[in-house]
Amino acid sequence: MGFFDSNSSSSSSTTNIDKRLVTDNGSTGISSDSSTFNISNTDNGAVVAALNSSTLNFATLMDTVKVLGQGAVNSLQANVALAKELSGTSQAAYTDAASQASGNKSLMYGVLAVLAMIALSMTLKKKAG
């Protein structure tokens, strides 16, 4: 019997099973081995829920912007109305002041006329007397 003579034998086998998960954009995963076919959700709808939440948040933001924008428009309209009112009030005050000034001019002319008459009568009295 030699070193290389032997009556024993051995064999081995290796079985490789591919269980990789193939996914699509809808969060569905598919895996298979030679006898089993599996379909599973990879995130249980978390991505869809996040997108729905984002849409809801955007809609809420737009509603808030509308409310704030309407508030700004209302404030602007109130300021315009106040400016018109103040303009009318100042115009009325100017008109009153102008009419009073005109009335004062007539009074001033009357006082000057009376003073001129007094001065003329005193001058005439001095000449006569």
Q: What is the band of 122 on the pLDDT scale with cuts at 50, 70, 90?
A: confident
Three-state DSSP state, 55: helix
pLDDT for 3:
58
Structure confidence at residue 24 as a pLDDT band (50, 70, 90): low
Residue 12: strand, helix, or coil: coil
Do 40 and 75 fall within a single domain? no
Instruction: Decide: helix, strand or coil at residue 41.
Output: strand
Is the entire prediction scored with pTM above 0.85?
no
Q: Domain span at residue 58?
A: 45-128
> Is residue 22 in a domain?
yes
- 68-113 tens-digit pLDDT: 999 999 999 999 988 888 888 888 888 877 777 666 777 778 888 9
DSSP H or E stretch at residue 23: strand 22-23
Q: How confident is the model at residue 22 (pLDDT cuts 50, 70, 90)?
A: low
Within 10 Å of residue 101's Cβ, how many Cβ atoms?
9
Total count of domains within the chain: 2
30 and 52 part of one domain: no
Same domain (yes/no): 79, 56: yes
Quick one: tokens of 86? 């103040």
Asked whether the predicted pLDDT for residue 1 surpasses 60, the reply is no
What count of Cα atoms within 13 Å lies in the side-chain half-sphere of residue 122? Answer: 6
The secondary structure element, H or E, covering residue 38 is strand 37-41
Asked if residue 119 has pLDDT above 80, the reply is yes
Write the DSSP string, 3-37: TT---------------PPEE-TTSEEEEE-SS-E
pLDDT digits 0-9 by tens, 38-79:
666 666 677 777 888 888 888 899 999 999 999 999 999 999
Is residue 32 domain-shared with residue 70, that is, in the same domain?
Answer: no
